[in-house]
Amino acid sequence: MTPHMQVGVEPRPDLGTTGTRVAMLVGPEAARAVAAVHALAEHLGAPVANTWGVKGIYPWDNPHHMGTCGLQRDDFDLLGFAAFDVLVTIGLDPAESPDDRLTLTRRVEVLPEPDAIDTVMTSSAPRPFLPVPNELYSRIASVAQRGYVDDSFPRHPARAVSDLKQSLGPDERVVAQPGLAGLWVARTFPTDRLGSVIVPAYDQPGIAAAVALVSAAQGTPTVCVVHSESGSVDDVTAEVTTLARTLKLPLRWLRWGDDVDWSRTEDLIAAAGPVVAWAR
């Protein structure tokens, strides 16, 4: 197993010299220090992968963005972390990135606080950023890009995601139910801003509906996407739906069922292995 250390403001971690190759992996708590995360990545010349709980910390087409990860077994291998000398991790949730899956290279964990991140930056040598393609991004992009333009029916799940994206208002948020709907949203939604997409890390009855209700109650127009091939939903989701309508909240619902060709999930599995999200 490779070494793993956690740092806050002190001690100052050794991230090597200008020739040391550093990658970064950030989780949901990194949302507390977005500007500092970006500054550290720029300073270290590091590409940044994000787990799905902080999807949108970089726009999908930013050069630093390695992709959204943690959803499938082979994600971390395909990102190529083993080719880097150091993996800097910030704000991870073990439900999205268990420690036992992060043993590919030396890991330094930094607290998701601007002061802690600034200390690491000021004590580390700067280095140039050289974009390096990774297999995860290219494999998922291949599945998604074909799916976005697929006109068949039932719809390709990536086409359903694309249609969803096109339907959104400028400030509307998507909350997707863990499982098939959440997998395809987290995996293929082209996110351009932090907080625009939420897929819970834990699969509990009605959890997406509950998160969407809170989002809408706070004044954010929200769409909740659930998977329901039978046309019915769990009791919690049904109750939340009724409550949202009674309160006249800015919340709308999408039920993806037999109008979506879920067999295409096999394409994702062929690309990055079995789904491991929501397994713990």
Query: Is the per-residue pLDDT at 204 higher than 70?
Result: yes
CA atoms within 13 A on the CB side of 27: 21
* pLDDT tens-digit readout, 45-89: 999 999 999 999 999 999 999 999 999 999 999 999 999 999 999
* pLDDT tens-digit readout, 226-251: 999 887 888 999 999 999 999 999 99
Q: Structural domains in the chain?
A: 4-131 (3.40.50.1220), 138-272 (3.40.50.970)
Question: Binning pLDDT at 50, 70 and 90, where does residue 105 land?
Answer: confident
Residue 17, classified by CB atoms within 10 Å of its CB into exposed (0-12), middle (13-18) or buried (19+), is: exposed
Backbone angles phi, psi at 158, to 5 degrees: -65, -30
Contacts of 148 (CB under 8 A, 6+ apart): 158, 159, 161, 162, 188
* The pLDDT value given to residue 264: 98
CA angle 241, 245, 247 (to 5 degrees): 115
- Looking only at the bridges linking them, the beta strands covering 22-26 and 4-7 are unpaired
Question: Binning pLDDT at 50, 70 and 90, where does residue 11 land?
Answer: low
